[in-house]
Amino acid sequence: MKISLFSALKVAITYAVFAGAWILFSDMALRAVVDDIALLSQLQTFKGWFFVLVTSALLFVMVSRSVQTSEILNQFDPLTGLLNHYMFSTQLERKVTMRKPEQILVVIYLDIDHFSHLNRTLGFDEANQILTGFSRALKDHYSAHVLLGRFPPDQFAIAFLSDKTVGEVEAEIKGLRQMFDQYMYEQQVEVTCTLGIAMGPSDSRQAKGLMAAAGDALGHAKNRERNSVQFFNKQLSQLENQRQKLLGDLRRDLVANRLTMVYQPQYRLADKALTGVEALIRWNHDEHGFIPPDVFIPLAEENSISDEISRFVVHQVYKDLQQHRLLGNPIQRVSINISAVEFNSRMMLDALMLEIESLPSLKQWLQIEITETATLNNLVKSAANIKALKAEGLRFSVDDFGTGYTSLAMLKDLPIDEVKIDRSFINDMIHETKAKAIVEAIVGMTHGFGISIVAEGIENKEQLDLLNAMGCSEGQGYFLAKPLNIEQLTELVQGGS
Ligand code: C2E
Ligand code: CA
Ligand code: CA
């Protein structure tokens, strides 16, 4: 704004000075040399036309110069002086046309990991200095033919034509990472970077395609592991597109309440009395049919919508069981699964609690299942989370027990109500003495701690009998009952009563 005002003012002042001086001095000069009034009037007319011509030329020169200046300013990132996104892509187009058949056109996107953390710890000014310093280091590292761009806030783009082989180019990219590490080390900041790389013509023959491919590769690298390098991979990209499409469909169907719940009964093994049900989510996709929760729950977790799933689950479970008059009597325990992401977020847990409390008399029958691995990050924090929610009246169960590595410590430290022995042990214990010994040990320990136990995945009579003999009190599995929709469940419990 300031620059454009200044340029306009410059043009106006120059025009005013030139026009004023011309009128003043040209009239004086004419009168001094011409006496004839008729001739003077004719010359005044010519003078007027001459003035129009010269000022038009002058205006043309000045306006085009100021437009050029602002164009130049618009080409560069104001902080680092590197090319901005638009100019990087324009100049990359030129490189695409300049590429000789034997050459590779390399496009690298470099993203500084957790830059916002750097901003918070160093402050904006110092973080900006790191950016400008690194862009200078980039200019020193590469020749003048290399395109260098910055895409705010924390991405840099590099593009060059190379006569080398792909292997040699990869080695060069290692050099770039070393240069980054060296520069950050000198600045005494602990920061890493992630790189996404595309190569023309194999990944794309166009500038926009190459930039999209480098961005895509960077996205993959960031999702998978920071401080890494990822070359564009068409198959990965297609897979990612499919995942994004599936995620979009999941969001759509969640909003439209198109998911459903099924309920797998759990029984006391000694007399086959119903002790509770586990609520399991189901998604019947309009195009792809049934999609297992093992596929879409991780997708929801990665994209931070597992809390929306749980909100749906809690509401649907309540609606199903209330409508069929099963809640409380005969069904006295409903277990729902929550993801590790939710369990480790105080905010999400509080929101879940609010949701549960908004549904009258659900809480007293509800049990939350968390996987053993969800508690592994921080046992102390997990214990505090469980304690807080138990104080509000919820029960807790640890799912897939035995698959983590802290099982023993967990039983001692976490105030849990139930453990579910992972079905892999139930599957193996018939043929493997070690698996059998593990199940026996878990049963013994939980008895000692006064914790309930449920064996998962009982698929045959042999397993059921063995568990009964070991003193395992409860079980769940296809041999006892498959997950049932609410109508089937109603029929089962009413038929059984
Ligand atoms: P999980 O919590 O371990 O659930 C038990 C899984 O074992 C269920 O698969 C169930 O159908 C299956 N199952 C039950 N009995 C047997 C058996 O005898 N043999 C075998 N082979 N499998 C048996 P499902 O419903 O496909 O769920 C898979 C996983 O998805 C669950 O494992 C759970 O981690 C997750 N999940 C399911 N529903 C939800 C949900 O509402 N929310 C969240 N966050 N996760 C869910
Ligand atoms: Ca479960
Ligand atoms: Ca399980």
Burial (CB < 10 A; 0-12, 13-18, 19+), residue 45, is exposed
pLDDT tens, position by position, 109-168:
999 999 988 888 889 899 999 999 999 999 999 999 999 999 999 999 999 999 988 888
pLDDT value at 1 more than 80: no
Task: Give the pLDDT of residue 240.
Answer: 80
Segment 89-108 mean pLDDT: 95
Question: Residues lining ligand 3 (ion), CB within 5 A?
Answer: 399-400, 456
The answer to whether residue 82 scores a pLDDT higher than 90 is: yes
Q: How confident is the model at residue 288 (pLDDT cuts 50, 70, 90)?
A: very high
User: What secondary structure, in 3-state letters, does 299-335 show?
Assistant: HHHHCCCHHHHHHHHHHHHHHHHHHCCCECCCECCEE
As a whole-number percent, the residues of the chain with pLDDT over 70 amount to 96
Query: If pLDDT is split at 50, 70 and 90, which confidence band does 380 have?
Result: confident
Selection from 237, 107, 101 nearest residue 169 by Cα:
107
DSSP class of residue 76?
Answer: B
Q: Give distance in angstroms: CA of 364 to centre of ligand 2.
A: 19
Q: What is the mean pLDDT of the chain?
A: 90
Q: Could you tell me if 162 and 169 are in contact, meaning their C-beta atoms sit under 8 angstroms apart?
A: yes
CA of 335 to the centre of ligand 2 (A): 8
What is the spatial distance between Cα 178 and Cα 467, in angstroms, rounded to a whole number? 58
Ligand nearest to the CA of 293: 1
What pLDDT is attached to residue 76? Answer: 86
User: Of ligand 1's atoms, which has the minimum distance to the CA of residue 313?
Assistant: 41
pLDDT category at 384 given cuts 50, 70, 90 is confident
323-336 residues labelled b (16+ CB within 10 A) or e (exposed): ebebbeeebebbbb
CA 390/CA 388 separation, integer angstroms:
6
Rounded Cα distance between 88 and 103, Å, is 19
Provide CB contacts within 8 A for 69, sequence distance 6+: 3, 7
Atom 38 (ligand 1): residue with closest C-alpha?
A: 280
- Ligand 1 atom nearest to 369, measured from its CA: 2
Identify the pLDDT of residue 293.
Answer: 96
Q: Indicate the range of 59-68, 228-237, 277-286, 455-464 predicted with least confidence.
A: 59-68
Condensed to tens digits (0 to 9), the pLDDT of residues 206-242 reads 999 999 999 999 998 998 888 999 999 888 778 888 8
**Residue 157, token pair as written in the block:** 């783009």
Higher pLDDT, 84 or 304: 84
How far is the C-alpha of 494 from the C-alpha of 481, rounded, in Å?
A: 15
CA-nearest residue for atom 22, ligand 1, is: 457
**Which amino acid residue places its CA nearest to atom 7 of ligand 1?**
457
Q: How many CA atoms are closer than 13 Å to the CA of 25, on its beta-carbon side?
A: 7
Residue to mutate, 262, 266, 277, 280, ligand 1, most ligand atoms under 8 Å from C-beta:
280
Q: Which ligand is nearest to the CA of 477?
A: 1
73 pLDDT band (50/70/90 cuts)?
low
| Whether residue 42 has pLDDT greater than 90 | no
Which residue is associated with the tokens 């759990």? 266
Q: How confident is the model at residue 13 (pLDDT cuts 50, 70, 90)?
A: confident
**Residue 496's pLDDT band (cuts 50, 70, 90):** low
Give the number of whichever ligand sits closest to the CA of residue 348: 1
Note the pLDDT of residue 444. 92
Kindly identify the ligand whose nearest atom is closest to the C-alpha of 280: 1
Identify the residue whose C-alpha is closest to ligand 1 atom 35. Answer: 293
Atom 8 in ligand 1: which residue has the minimum CA distance?
280
pLDDT at 469 over 80: yes
| H or E, element range at 463 | helix 461-470
Q: Yes or no: say if 227 and 192 are a contact pair by the CB < 8 Å rule.
A: yes
Question: Does position 47 have pLDDT exceeding 90, yes or no?
Answer: no
| Ligand 1 atom nearest 292 alpha carbon | 26
Q: Give dist(CA 320, CA 342) in Å, integer.
A: 24
Q: How confident is the model at residue 406 (pLDDT cuts 50, 70, 90)?
A: low
Residue 80 CA to residue 138 CA, distance in Å, equals: 11
Q: Ligand 1, closest atom to CA 459?
A: 18
Q: How far apart are CA 134 and CA 375, in angstroms?
A: 40
Q: How confident is the model at residue 156, as a pLDDT?
A: 97
How far, in Å, is the centroid of ligand 1 from the Cα of 279?
Answer: 9
* Rounded distance from Cα 278 to ligand 1 centre (Å): 9
What pTM does this model have? 0.69
Query: For the chain, how many residues are written?
Result: 497
Determine the pLDDT at residue 5: 74
Judged by its nearest atom, the ligand closest to the C-alpha of residue 310 is 1
Strands 147-151 and 155-162: antiparallel
Give the per-residue pLDDT at 374. Answer: 79
- Helices 306-323 and 293-302: crossing angle in degrees, nearest 10, is 130
Nearest ligand 1 atom, CA 280: 38
Which residues does 56 contact at the CB level (< 8 Å), separation at least 6? none
Q: Name every protein residue with a CB atom under 6 angstroms from any ligand 1 atom.
A: 264, 280-281, 292-294, 297, 306, 309, 313, 337-339, 399-400, 423, 457-459, 477-478, 483
